[in-house]
Each structure stands twice: as structure tokens, then as C-alpha cells.
Structure 1
Amino acid sequence: MTQSTTARAGRFHQGRLSGGRPQALDAWRVTTDDADVAARIAGLLGGEPQPNGGGSGGLAYEVLTSRESVRVLLEGPDAVAAHMVLWGSEGIVHECDGMEFLSPEEKRGQPCGCPPLLADRKLAARNGRGPMPSVDIAFQIAAEPKLGTFHFMTSSWQVAAQLSELMDALEQVGGPAVCDLAMELVVYTTKTGRGVCYRKPVVTVLGSPDSVTPEPPPTGEPTPAPAPPAPGHGTRPAFETTTPSTPDSSRLVSVDAILLRRAAQVLGTGDHQETVIAALSEIVAGPQQAAELARLREQFGRIAAIAEQALRGRDSIT
């Protein structure tokens, strides 16, 4: 898995350093050395350009965006570079592709000895005996590809576990692929009863540029029927549509039905009511609980009304 040598416009991050301590974020952070790129990112994704105080790679500017999902373009499977790395006090001591060494040079091409199962590799890495994933995803922002190539680098085991599916999906598109790069909210309770809430990176391949609806503009720009936001996140309401004074009911039903289906896939729910309840539960576990819960309750009323419209339309046809 290789990447082109196109100059990097910047990087996407899930966190930053604050007061010397790591800080997880609920929306993407973008760093760049180009002031014009920083200003354009802020215009596309929200936030304000500012000096990079988050300590990532020495890039001059950072933008703390308001978006946890961004529609991007990946130039096929070659846009993803992945390997396994174990660092020592003097640098890399083990680098492989899971089967053969990539470095040091004297071991290149020899069997690396890593376990075949991902769970065993994870355990070895946790005990300091094995390498961790190192995944680099190169992409352009779909709304403005001319900005250049951005990179997202992660050591997430969840991303590593999904690499095969991602590569297959990119291969099937057969060219540039439109994808959603998202920070998906994960909420669960441990065996000891402790609630855990974090965001995992997820890349969802949507299709070719000719077959995918363009990304909606940032929140706050009115539009009669934007595409639905990515599901499974707990920092914004489930809907961000602007309803006309005389709404087209068929259009509303279509947009919301798509959103509910996508939410159900992410949440693993079987019907609309269960999907809404699960989404509410995730919001309660996240930040800004009261405000977001109240806004979701308002949207629940819309879901009920839209479902009633859809059922009436079906009954009139049958």
C-alpha cells in the first residue's frame, strides 16, 4: 500500500496537547503551515485559524473545527499506507507488514514473527513485546479538492481491523472514491459498571464522485434539503435540515428515512423507535447532555410525524 508524493496541505487530528497533557476532541482538528489553507478550512468546516498550540508536527496553524464527519476523496487503495511499528529508545526497532520485516534493512523480507490473529498482536503490543498499527490515510476534501492532500495518521486497532474491508471497498469503486471520514462516538459500560465514552476514527466508502450526493454546507447556511449528517455522533442533533414554509413531505420522508437507516446500521438497532432510543442514550453519555437531549426530543416529534405521513402514503397506495 503506497501513496503518491503530492505535497501535504495539512493533517487531521482527533486530539491535541493542552497544558502539556493530551486532550481528546469531539470534532476534527486540522493543522497546516499555510495560512490561506487554514482560513479556507475554517470556512468549510467551522472554527477559527489560530497559532498551533496543540504541539503536532510543528505546523504553524491549527483549526478546531465543528465537524466530526468530513466528506473526503481517496485516490483508490494507494491512498492508504499501513504497517506495524515498535519503537525503542533509539527509534524503530521493528517495522513489518504483519508478515515480513520492512526494517531494519538487514531483516527486510524475512518473516517478522507477528501472530496471525489481530487480538494476539494487540496483546503483544500491550505487553511491550510487539508492534502497533501505523496507518496513514491521504485524501482531499471533497468540497474543495484544490486545497491539496491532507493526511490522517492513526494507531487505532479498530482501523487496523477494518483495513481489509476498506481496501476492498476502494478497489470496487475503481478510481477516486468519495468517503466519510468520521469520529464515531462509542459508549459502553464495563464489567465493573463504569461508563466509557470515546470516539473512534471510521472511514466509510460511499462511491464514485458521479454517484454520491455532494456534501451539505456547514451548519448555519440554509438549504432546503441537505444530505443527512453522519450518524452515531453525540455532539449535534440528529437532523440539521432547514424546513421550508411549505415543505415537500415526500422529500422530507426520503431524507429522514435515509438518516434513520444509516443510524440503525451504526447503532445495530432493528426499528425506528429503537434507533431513536439508542441515539438518545448516546447523547446522554456525551457532553452537553441537557441541551442536546432537549433538541433530540424535538426531533423525535418530527420523526413520529414523518413516519405517520409515510404510513398514510403507503396505505393509500395499497
Structure 2
Amino acid sequence: MDYGNLLKRAWHIVWNNKFMFVLGFLAALGSGGNGGNGGARGNFNVSGSSSDFNLPPGFAENIERYWAQYAGITIALVCLAIILGIVFWLVSLVGQAGLISAASRIDSGEQVTLGDAFGAGTGVLVRMIGLNLILYGPFILLGLIFFGIASVTVGSAVASEFAGNPSNFETIFSGIGPFFACFGILACVMVPLGLIVTVIYPFAQRGLILQELGIVDSIRHGWNVIRDNIGDVFLLILLFVVIGFVFGIAAAVVLLPAAALAFLPTIVDLVRGGTLEIGNIAFMIGGGICLGLLGAVINSIMIAFRSTTVTLAYQEFINKTNKLKAA
């Protein structure tokens, strides 16, 4: 496979059909932008005395005061965030499907508009939902279970600290230790499976959309495409790992200062013993929304380009397979 020509063809299609950036933006919404990778790390030393865990002065009082005044608003905002997350996810699936359909049709010489591509995406939305639930449902379920238990554990521990029972803090964490150990072992199995699913997914998508296969057949088709073209698929992955790394650095240059403006003032104020008010929460929520939209705008370029490249590569794989069968 001529990867240089593949990338040029993909960029030519995207650049000359700029509505694909709009589809890329829609696709980025449900995936959290993916414009850059970041992580938050926290360390809790519970092996020694409970005095190793100290809250900032006045922190507990601020949390209690805030929860007493704004519990209803906070719960409503959480519910709204969940609903918006589901809506964005559905819009993302439409954008992904629209990109795949548009790239294939444009490459074959058709004239495609944003409306055509969006209509093609909505037409396969139900099957796209089914494909995602089958491939990623088990991982989501395990994640929710872990998050629920971890939330209850941490919440109980912090509540004990607030109530002046620091001994309960160590008891809670020592009792939950075996669960986290078992979950860690399970994660060692699920992570490789997750990587395999992540590789199968884009080719299963194209089988579902371009070959009009059923959900299960598209998964089987995606696996067969990878198996028959394992070397080219591996090189394509490496290529986009490098491209994604460079693009991620460029995106971080823009997003990190924006994140600092959105969150640092409130965080610094809380660390200094300031009061957590609804205005602080509203400012951080507004900043988070703007940051997410900015990330989606930036990442729309990479998503449109990557999706088009994979679609063109997929078509080459299918054409090669058809020629071998004909011979």
C-alpha cells in the first residue's frame, strides 16, 4: 500500500469538501474531543497513620455549606450532563457514519453535500448504536460497577473524616482492598481485549455502512479484514499514532492555557480557604463547556482526515480481496 498517496487522497477529499470538518466536529462531540490526552493522578497514603490524610483548612465546612444550599441544583446539573452526554454520543455516531459514507461516495466520483452525508448517518444510527453496545457494552458495564463502588468507598471515607472518625477511613480502604485487587487482575485481561475491539470497530463500521451488513456480520467482517491485512493495518495504526502524537502536542498548546483560565481561579481560591459558591460552579461549568467545544473544533480536522484515510484503506483492502477471489 502506498501510504503517501493514501494520505494525499484523503486530505484532498477532506479539503475540497469542507463540510466534512462539520461532520468531524459532530463526531468529536460524543468522544470528548480527543484533541489531547491527559490524566489526573492522586495519591492517598493510608498505610500509616490517618493523620497522613489532611483536608485543607475550612474545606469540609465549605463542602457542607455548599451541599446544604445547592444540593438540588447540583443533582439537576448532573442529570442534565448525563442527558447531554447521551445526545452528544448519538450525534457523534451520526457524524462518524456520515464521514464514512461521504468519503466512499466522493472517492467514487459522486457529488455529496452535508445534508446527504448527515442523512446517510441518521439512516444507520440504530445499527450504529447496536454495534457500539455489543462491542463496548461489557467495558462500560464494568466501568460503571467500578465507579459506583469507588464512589461509595471514597464518599464513606471522606464522610468519616468530616465526622471526626479517622479510624473508619483506614478501615474502609483496607476492607475494599481485595475488590480493587480483583478488579486490577480483571483489568489486565480487559485492556488487551479493549485494544482488539478498538482496532476491529472502524472496519466493522465500514462493513455495516458501506457493505450494508448486519451488526454481528459487520463485526465478523471487521475481524476478517484485519486478519487478511494485518501488516497494512498495523502500519496504518503506527502511522496515525505518530500523526496523532504531533497533532496532540499542537492541540495541547491551545487547550492547556484555556483549561488554566477555566479552572485555576476557582481551584486556587478553594485551596486558599475560599468559599465554594454557585458562581464558582457556574464559571467552571461554562469554562468546561467552552473548553470541550474548542477541543471538538480542533479535533474535527484530525477526525475527518483519519476517518477518510481509513475508509480509503478499507476500500483498497476490499478490492484486493475481491481480486484474489476472482483469480
TM-score between the two structures when normalised by the length of structure 2: 0.23
The structure with more helix, counted as a fraction of residues: 2
TM-score between the two structures when normalised by the length of structure 1: 0.23
- Specify which structure has the bigger relative contact order, considering alpha-carbon pairs within 8 angstroms and separated by 6 or more residues: 2
The structure with more strand, counted as a fraction of residues: 1
